Amino acid sequence: MYPCITRLQTILALLYSTMLSRGHTCPSRCLCPDHHTVDCSGRALTHLPGPFPLNVRRLLLANNWISWIPSDFLLLYSDLVYLDLRNNSLSQLEPGTLSTPFSRLVFLDLGGNNLTEIPSGSFGESRSLIKLRLGDNPYLSAVGPRAFQGLSSLRELGLERNGLSDLDVGALEPLASLRTLRLEGNPWACSCRFAKLFAWLTEHRDKLPTGEEDSHVTVM
Ligand SMILES: *[C@@H]1O[C@H](CO)[C@@H](O)[C@H](O)[C@H]1NC(C)=O
Ligand SMILES: *[C@@H]1O[C@H](CO)[C@@H](O)[C@H](O)[C@H]1NC(C)=O
């Protein structure tokens, strides 16, 4: 009676079963200790292996040579909560890659890569994000004034040992939940902007208390 709908249902059923069967594949060079974790750390990978199970929540890709993430990656793996890309060869993030609406990411480690810039709007409205590690990117010298906009739940931000000579204080303003900020090991220039940053850090000492174990701010 409704051939279109019947056909659509068939397609959906097919799609669903493909997704289900794909849901249990593990990329050949990786380990899948449970249904939601894929561990491909230290496998000398030069690009993302895949496909990953579509319902992957924890994806461990540290210590590889991965230089590129497709911009629809988080759209495809929308259940991802924990993404560890530490110590890879990423030099830039395609616009939109990390600003996926409805992202569930809570933990993102991009430390130890070769990033040069964190452009404004990089993380869109990643309201779930709690820990963001961007340290040890020695050429990272530019952080856009609205680079961290939308990160309203972010508690920990690591920008240590990068190539920052200054940082626009405005970039930190949207981080209402920030508890730990790491800025040490950057080649700060004693500019006006740095003076403003220093004043901001002093002023927000209460926001970044030093007493608790998980809360501190380190600059030098
Ligand atoms: C980074 O990854 C490479 C390749 O796996 C490894 O040889 C190196 O020890 C790692 N470096 C760090 C600091 O973990
Ligand atoms: C890292 O980036 C710098 C500056 O863009 C470049 O000169 C260097 O070759 C890159 N290194 C790697 C390992 O990609």
Testing ligand 1's pocket by substitution, the residue of 41, 87, 110 carrying the most ligand atoms inside 8 A of its CB is 87
Percent of the chain exceeding pLDDT 70 equals 82
Question: Virtual CA dihedral for 120, 94, 75, 8, nearest 10 degrees?
Answer: 120
Question: What pLDDT score does 210 carry?
Answer: 54
Question: What pLDDT score does 216 carry?
Answer: 53
Q: Which CATH number fits domain 26-220: 3.80.10.10, 3.90.550.10, 1.10.3720.10, 1.10.940.10?
A: 3.80.10.10
Which atom of ligand 1 has the smallest separation from the CA of 44? 5
User: For residue 87, how far is its CA from the centre of ligand 1 (angstroms)?
Assistant: 6
Chain-wide mean pLDDT for the chain? Answer: 85
Which is more confidently placed, 75 or 87? 87
The phi and psi torsions of 21 (rounded to 5 degrees) equal -70, -35
User: For residue 25, how far is its CA from the centre of ligand 2 (angstroms)?
Assistant: 34
Question: What pLDDT score does 128 carry?
Answer: 95
Q: Mean pLDDT over residues 128-145, rounded?
A: 97
Q: Mean pLDDT over residues 167-177, rounded?
A: 94
| Residue 14 banded pLDDT, cuts 50, 70, 90 | very low
Three-class SS state of 177: coil
DSSP for residue 52: P
Parallel, antiparallel, or unpaired: how do β-strands 117-118 and 82-84 relate? unpaired
Q: Are 83 and 59 within 8 A, CB to CB?
A: yes
Among 42-56, 61-75, 115-129, 203-217, which is the least confidently predicted range?
203-217
Q: Are 127 and 98 within 8 A, CB to CB?
A: no
Helices (H) and strands (E) in the chain, counts: 3, 11
Among 44-53, 157-166, 201-210, which is the least confidently predicted range?
201-210
Listed in sequence order, the residues at least 6 apart from 191 whose beta carbon sits closer than 8 Å to its beta carbon are 165, 166
Q: Mean pLDDT over residues 190-200, rounded?
A: 82
How far is it, in rounded angstroms, from Cα 202 to Cα 196? 10
Q: Is the predicted pLDDT of residue 15 greater than 80, yes or no?
A: no
Select from 79, 65, 125, 117 the least CA-distant residue to 98: 125
Listed in sequence order, the residues at least 6 apart from 123 whose beta carbon sits closer than 8 Å to its beta carbon are 98, 99, 129, 132, 147, 148, 149, 150, 151
Question: What pLDDT score does 21 carry?
Answer: 43
Question: What pLDDT score does 174 carry?
Answer: 94
Question: What pLDDT score does 205 carry?
Answer: 76
